[in-house]
Structure 1
C-alpha cells in the first residue's frame, strides 16, 4: 500500500537547498507538490533520498549461508531485501557472478538467482535489478550469452577477468587452488587444467569481446568494466560501448574514464575502511579529486550510508554532495531519472535517519514502507 502523508518537523535534504527544516509530502508513490493526507511529526529525524546501490553482492550470504545453494532460493532473495531495506537502500543492483569459479559463482547458480529475483519481484518493496558479472575468458559461453541475458531480464552486464594470468603463464598453481576447486565441485587437478586452458586462449578474447559487446548493446544492455588499472584499458572498453568503470584500481584509470565522460563507480567499504583492502587507489582521494560519480555497497550493505556521512563529517564534501554519491549519482548512471532527489513527481524513495544516532529508522520505496524500527513506528501510526 502506498502512503498519502505529509511529514513535518524533520530536517529534509531539499534539492539545491541542502538540509533544511521543511515539510515533505508523498502521494500515490511519488513526492507531492503540496500537503496531502495526514501529517506525521518527524521532529528529531532527517529525511534523505533513498539509497540507490548500483553494485552489491552482499546478498550471497542469504542465498547460500553454507556451502551449496538453498533449496528455497526465493526465501533467500526476500531475506536479502530485508537487509537492503534496513540499510536505507531503495533500489539495489544484485551483482551475480557468471564465472569459471563455479559453485555460487557458476553459470547454473546465476540462472537460479536471476529466476528467483524475477519470481519475487512483485512481492518485494525494494526495486531489485539483476546484474551479470561475466568472466571474459569463458569464450565457449559467448554465443549463447545475449539470449540468456534477455531471458533472465538482465539490463546490466559487467566484465571481469579474475584469472591469475601471471602465475598461469609461469605454469605455477595459484594460491587457494584447492579450496576454490572444492567450491566448484572439481578436483584441484581438473580446476588447474581449466584455468590453464582458459589462459591459453587469451589472444582470442579481445575480438570475441568486440562482437559480444556489440550484440549486448543492440539489446539495450548497460555495460561496465571492472577493476581497470590502465588508461589504455579504459579506452579499449569505451570503444566497445562500455561506459561504466567499476572500482578502477588506479588514479590513471579513474582519470581517463572521467576525462572521456564515462561513469566511475567506487566502493563504499573503501571509504569506510580508509583505503582499499587490496592496496588500490583510495576512494576518498579519488572523490576529493572529483573522480567519482557514485558509491556502491560492493560487499557490505551498511557502507553506503556510513560512507556518505563520513565524507561529510571529514569535510571532503558537504552532506548534499556526499549523499548524492549514493542516491542521485547512481540513479543517473543507471538511467533512472525518476529517483535520487526529493522533488515533486519523482518516486517517493526515501530513508529516514534518527538525527542523534544517524541509524536508519525507516525506509520507503515508491511510497511503500520496506523497513521501520523503534519509536518512529508510533509516529506513523499516530
Structure 2
C-alpha cells in the first residue's frame, strides 16, 4: 500500500452534498478532500464514478446461509466465514455486525448448537487478518426461549459484541398480534400439522409468560451497564415503542406500522428497516413499506437483512424517489447513521480525520450501482 493515495475524478458523496472532487488517503485516514480533479500524476482516476463512505451493516444473518448452505449440510466454519466476508465486501460493506441468534423459535432448530463454532470462526478469522470487512457481533436474543439469558451472559463478554436486540416471537406479540397469522406463518415455515402447531403455540405462550419480561429487563440492564447499543424488534404500536424506549433502547428494528415509526421519532429511537423492502417495493410479510417511511422522514437506517447487495442498491432507489435526488441523505442511512447508532464515531462519512473506508460504485444504464473498488482504512480490499 503506497504511503499516500489520491482518488480523483469522482462524484464524492459527503454527508451533505455530492460534487466532482478528489480525496487523499494516508495512514488509514482521509487527510484531504478537494473539489475538481487532481493534476498530480500519481492520482487514480475513478472515471466519474461515485465515491461513497464504506457501508455499515447492523443486522445481517447472511453468515447462517454459509454455515448451512442446505438443510442438514454444515459447512466448515472458517470457510463459511470467509465466503460470507467475500460477499459482504463485494457489496461495499466495510463494517458488518453479524447477527447471531440466541434462542430458537424452531422446535427442531439447531442454531444454539452452532453458535460456538460460528463465533469462534469469526474471532479466529478476524484475529488472523483473514477478513476484508471489519466484523462485529449482534446478539439477537429470543426472549421466550428458556436458555436465552444464560447463553447471553456467556456471550456478551465477547469483545466483538457491540449490539444486542431483544425479540419475542410468541403469539400475540409484535408482528403476530393475530394468532391466525402466527399459525399460518409457522405451519408453513416449519411444516407443522394442526396438532403439533397447537402444542407449539401452547409452549411459546407459556415460555413468553415465564421468561419474556424478566429476560428483557435483565438483558437490557446488562447492556446499558456495558455501554452496548440495544434494539427492539418488530414494534407494532405506540405502546410497544414506549415500552422499548422506557427500557433505554435506542434503535427500533423493523417497526411494522406507521404508528410505531412515528412513535420512534417522538421518543428519539432510530428506525431501522430492511433494504430488500425498498428494492422490492414493500415488505414480504405485508408490513409498512420502508420507502413510505422515508417519504415521511421516519427512516434512519437501512439494513441488508438477508441480501447484502440490497444495501447499496436501496440507497440509490431512495435517492431516485426523493425530490432532487438527494443521494447524500440516502447514503447516510447505510453509513453514518448506523455507525453512530452502534457507537462508532470514527467512520461512516467522507470527512477529514475519519477512517478511509470507501466504495467506488459505477451507475449502470438502468441505475443499478455496481461496486468497482473498496478500501478499508486506505487498503484496497476489493
Give the whole-Å Cα distance in 2 for the aligned partners of 1:23 and 1:333: 28
The structure-2 alpha-carbon separation of the partners of 1:108 and 1:250, relative to structure 1 and needing over 3 Å to count, comes to: same
2:183/2:197 contact within 8 Å kept: no
Residue matched to 1:251: 258
The structure-2 alpha-carbon separation of the partners of 1:181 and 1:280, relative to structure 1 and needing over 3 Å to count, comes to: closer
Q: Is 1:367 equivalent to 2:373 in the alignment?
A: no
Q: Is 1:343 equivalent to 2:343 in the alignment?
A: no
Consecutive unaligned residues in structure 1, runs of 5 or more: 372-382
Give the whole-Å Cα distance in 2 for the aligned partners of 1:215 and 1:84: 30
User: More displaced, 238-247 or 192-201?
Assistant: 192-201
The offset of 1:211, in angstroms, is 2.6
2:20/2:48 contact within 8 Å kept: no
Which digits, 9 at most, give the CA deviation of each residue in 1:322-360, with x for residues without a partner? 111111111111111111111111111111012445311
Residue matched to 2:124: 119
Q: Residue 93 of structure 2: which of 78, 86, 89 is its match?
A: 89
The offset of 1:78, in angstroms, is 0.5
Map 1:153-302 → 2, pairs under 5 A:
153-165=160-172, 174-175=183-184, 193=199, 195-204=201-210, 205-302=212-309
The structure-2 alpha-carbon separation of the partners of 1:138 and 1:343, relative to structure 1 and needing over 3 Å to count, comes to: same
Q: Residue 318 of structure 1: which of 318, 326, 329 is its match?
A: 326
- Give the total of aligned pairs: 367
Give the whole-Å Cα distance in 2 for the aligned partners of 1:238 and 1:275: 26
User: More displaced, 242-251 or 91-100?
Assistant: 91-100
Q: Is 1:57 equivalent to 2:61 in the alignment?
A: yes
Give the whole-Å Cα distance in 2 for the aligned partners of 1:168 and 1:253: 14
2:252/2:269 contact within 8 Å kept: yes
2:54/2:357 contact within 8 Å kept: yes
Which digits, 9 at most, give the CA deviation of each residue in 1:140-190, with x for residues without a partner? 4324522322147422111122234599998999347678668xxx99978
Give the whole-Å Cα distance in 2 for the aligned partners of 1:77 and 1:267: 22
User: More displaced, 145-154 or 333-342?
Assistant: 145-154
Which digits, 9 at most, give the CA deviation of each residue in 1:280-318, with x for residues without a partner? 111111111111111110111111111111111222551
The structure-2 alpha-carbon separation of the partners of 1:212 and 1:11, relative to structure 1 and needing over 3 Å to count, comes to: closer
Give the whole-Å Cα distance in 2 for the aligned partners of 1:69 and 1:265: 32
1:125/1:368 contact within 8 Å kept: no
SS at match of 1:158: strand
1:269/1:297 contact within 8 Å kept: yes
Give the whole-Å Cα distance in 2 for the aligned partners of 1:153 and 1:188: 42
Consecutive unaligned residues in structure 2, runs of 5 or more: 34-38
Residue matched to 1:327: 335
User: More displaced, 281-290 or 56-65?
Assistant: 56-65
The offset of 1:231, in angstroms, is 0.8
Residue matched to 1:30: 29
The structure-2 alpha-carbon separation of the partners of 1:176 and 1:46, relative to structure 1 and needing over 3 Å to count, comes to: closer
User: More displaced, 109-118 or 24-33?
Assistant: 109-118
The offset of 1:370, in angstroms, is 2.1
Superposition RMSD on alpha carbons, in Å? 3.0
SS at match of 2:98: strand
Residue matched to 2:36: none
Q: Residue 138 of structure 2: which of 111, 131, 138 is its match?
A: 131
Give the whole-Å Cα distance in 2 for the aligned partners of 1:289 and 1:105: 40
The offset of 1:119, in angstroms, is 1.1
1:31/1:343 contact within 8 Å kept: yes
SS at match of 1:91: strand
Give the whole-Å Cα distance in 1 for the aligned partners of 2:282 and 2:184: 24
The offset of 1:361, in angstroms, is 0.6
Give the whole-Å Cα distance in 2 for the aligned partners of 1:281 and 1:126: 31
